[in-house]
Amino acid sequence: MVGSAITRFAPSPTGPLHLGHAYAALVADARGRMRLRIEDIDRARCKPDWEIAIFDDLRWLGLSWPQPVMRQSERLSFYRQALEKLHILGVIYRCDCSRGDIRAALSAPQEGAALIGPDGPVYPGLCRAKGLQAPDAAIRLDMARAMGLVGPVSFHDSGPDHAGQHCKTAPEMIETIGDIVLARRDLGTAYHLAVVVDDAAQGITEVTRGADLFEATAIHVLLQRLLRLPTPAYHHHRLIRDDQGKRLAKRDDARALAKYRAEGATPQDIRALLGL
């Protein structure tokens, strides 16, 4: 049903859009009616100027989207409500560990090699049973309890690298992902929670995004199940890489769309460069 889905492009305004972003936006547009969402919860890294530049680049590419644009910085109350629901379910807890505390626990001889999940080393559970109340501490998901409530999580992907149905069991989620952070102490939320709440609020039926986020998808489906939100279809697209095969990052200004524009490229040139 290509074209009839509701898709989204969800950039963070932390730098110029580059070819990788253009590809993500063009895929979202080609596969459905694209919604735009500005992922600006990290106020220290996001700048309004970058947001304006994003709109300008996307319009130049020939894309359009309904107004008003969703901005995560304006939605903290919705993330709080979601955390409240998870609290009632008994699947979150406060954690005041520093990165150093976690590193030290993981390097203890009995721990063995730390597994690296989508958010870094799997949390060793230091605060899980402490019952901390500190309102300024981070909030983590108790993965074992959460999976105990919903059972295995599954989703469908139609992207080139991961096409098919995917399912993760409780032991896999506990071992390879663990107790991820749902609210950073400084932000009141974190990517995984915000993305789930907002995809539902925007009525997204197909999430199109880069294959680098494939491993995070099981977390999102779990949160959807806990919060009783629908699970969309997923399409993880290929990543655009530089000549050395490295994924493009915001700092790769050489690949910024603005630079191609300044050099006289047309939107058709960009599509051709991306193989579209």
Nearer to ligand GLU, 11 or 125 (CB): 11
The SS3 of residue 192 is helix
Q: Classify burial at 46, counting beta carbons within 10 Å of its beta carbon; exposed 0-12, middle 13-18, buried 19 or more.
A: buried
CA angle 184, 187, 189 (to 5 degrees): 65
- Nearest approach, Cβ of 201 to ligand GLU (angstroms)? 14
- Nearest approach, Cβ of 195 to ligand GLU (angstroms)? 5
Select from 60, 65, 56 the least CA-distant residue to 267: 60
Sign of the alpha-carbon torsion through 23, 29, 30, 32: positive
Nearer to ligand GLU, 61 or 174 (CB): 61
Nearer to ligand GLU, 21 or 94 (CB): 21
250 is catalytic: yes
- Nearest approach, Cβ of 206 to ligand GLU (angstroms)? 12
- Nearest approach, Cβ of 113 to ligand GLU (angstroms)? 28
- Give me 135's structure tokens: 């309102």
Nearer to ligand GLU, 39 or 157 (CB): 39
- Nearest approach, Cβ of 207 to ligand GLU (angstroms)? 7
- Give me 36's structure tokens: 């735009």
- Give me 237's structure tokens: 């697209």
Which amino acid would we find at residue 203? G
Q: Which residue of this chain has its Cβ atom nearest to ligand GLU in the complex?
A: 209
Nearer to ligand GLU, 106 or 205 (CB): 205
Residue with tokens 């309102």, as numbered in its chain: 135
* 55-66 b/e (C-beta count within 10 Å ≥ 16 → b): eebbebbebebe
CA atoms of 91 and 162, how far apart (whole Å): 29
Q: What backbone torsions phi and psi does residue 176 show, to the nearest 5 degrees?
A: -100, -15
Beta bridge partners of 38: 71
| Contacts with ligand GLU, residue ranges (CB under 6 A) | 10-12, 39, 195, 209, 213
Catalytic residues: 250
